Amino acid sequence: MRSLLTVLLIFLVVVFCGCSSIVKVNEESLEKGKEKIVYNKKHYPQRIINYNSRDEKQEFIYDKPPQRIVAVWQDTIELLLALGIGDRIVAGMGVPDKKYILPEYQHQYEKIPYTSLENLDVETIMMMEPDFIIGWYSTFAAKVLRSTEFWQQRKVNTYITPSSRTSVYKHKLEDEYSYILDMGKIFDKNEKAQQLVAQMQNEIDFVTAKTAKTGQRPRAVIMEFLGKDIRVYGEKTLAGDILTSLGGDLIAKNNTLSLEQLVDLDPDVIFLVIIERNYGEEKTFLDRVCKNKALSHLRCVRNKRVYPVHLYAVYSSGIRTYDGIKIMAHGLYPELYKEK
């Protein structure tokens, strides 16, 4: 009995010490955040049109830049790091491993008090006293982090990344641009946000200008393995919009594809999407195409034009949209980048 009580006591000490250390770090970061934040008061109040949990447009008012941020999924975390406000993130969730964060931001990422692939529970998040929560539409489901209304009643502003909304008919590059620019407005980092968007637009302009006279339109398929099935990223997806914006011909538009249909299409290029749980296993999935006897006669296999692309670069991708643009541009027009 005594040994059982001892074990229970040790367990409780560990739990309470662990919880108190997180809260303590967050309290210290709040004080530092108050000291460091400099912004132009003339830019506030800032009014941002976003969405609530019912997928309705709503105006959110910011009297000043948020100071304590909970960010969910890689795109939100990396965008905030790119804007230079990583020291305001009290919890960053949804990243499988630090190595998937851009190298230039990994040091900032390590300083976030709490990071994990898994979400914290709502009670712990409330203890962190955030004033801003940003995530995907699914983040604000009742069984995840509660609704946007739940947080607004507690004076916490929320932001749903536009391209994560399932009701959207077509996801476009403009969704990512507006998302980045919104963050620039909210945090008074307009110049940096505009630079990030311009970098993407300039890459697309470079490609379209170089290919305008040739009329070249490489035939491409964007696909993902779902078990034995093949999921297609068609014209309504962000990935599809990136490819067509670069002048590629998106030849698979249905939701699914069979091996036989893929053989019939015989694309010039395949972009193979790798989802979060398969990061690091790119070769395994490439081999499913390149070493499959049924696909050995595809021109893209013969010419070694099958390219992996991480999901974070083509879905609600934020600043990583630039990665998606570059991967597809290089895959569609390798000759352009030999000249560059």
pLDDT above 70 as % of the chain: 89
Residue 339 confidence (pLDDT):
61
Is the separation of the CB atoms in 73 and 316 below 8 Å?
yes
Give 303's pLDDT tier (boundaries 50, 70, 90): very high
Check whether 66 has a pLDDT greater than 80: yes
List, in sequence order, the alpha helices (H) in the chain. 2-36, 74-82, 106-110, 122-127, 148-152, 173-186, 190-211, 238-245, 259-265, 282-290, 299-302, 321-332, 334-339
Please classify residue 298 by burial: count the beta carbons closer than 10 Å to its beta carbon, then call 0-12 exposed, 13-18 middle and 19+ buried.
buried
Of 63, 134, 139, 96, which is closest to residue 277 (Cα–Cα)? 96
| Average confidence (pLDDT) over 328-333 | 97
Per the prediction, the chain carries an average pLDDT of 88
Q: How far apart are CA 299 and CA 251, in angstroms?
A: 14
pLDDT-derived band of residue 17, with 50, 70 and 90 as boundaries? very low
Distance, first Cα to last Cα, the chain: 74
Specify burial of residue 48 (Cβ count, 10 A radius: 0-12, 13-18, 19+).
middle
Q: Going from the N-terminus, what domains does the chain have, and what CATH number goes with each?
A: 25-174 (3.40.50.1980), 196-339 (3.40.50.1980)
Q: What is the pLDDT of residues 147-205, one digit of tens each?
A: 999 999 999 999 999 988 888 778 999 999 999 999 999 999 999 999 999 999 999 99
pTM over 0.75: yes
Q: Give the DSSP H/E element, type plus range, for residue 89.
A: strand 89-93
Instruction: Name residues whose C-beta falls within 8 Å of residue 82's C-beta, 6 or more positions apart in sequence.
Output: 102, 105, 192, 196, 319
DSSP3 helix / strand / coil % (the chain, rounded to 5)? 50, 15, 30
* Residue 215, pLDDT score: 81
Which pLDDT band holds residue 14 (cuts at 50, 70, 90)?
very low
CA angle, 306 as apex, 305 and 312 as ends, to 5°? 130
Closest alpha carbon to 106 in 135, 86, 136: 86
What's the pLDDT score for residue 129?
Answer: 95
Least trusted range by pLDDT, from 56-70, 132-146, 198-212, 326-340: 326-340
**Nearest one of 52, 49, 90 to 69, comparing CA atoms:** 90
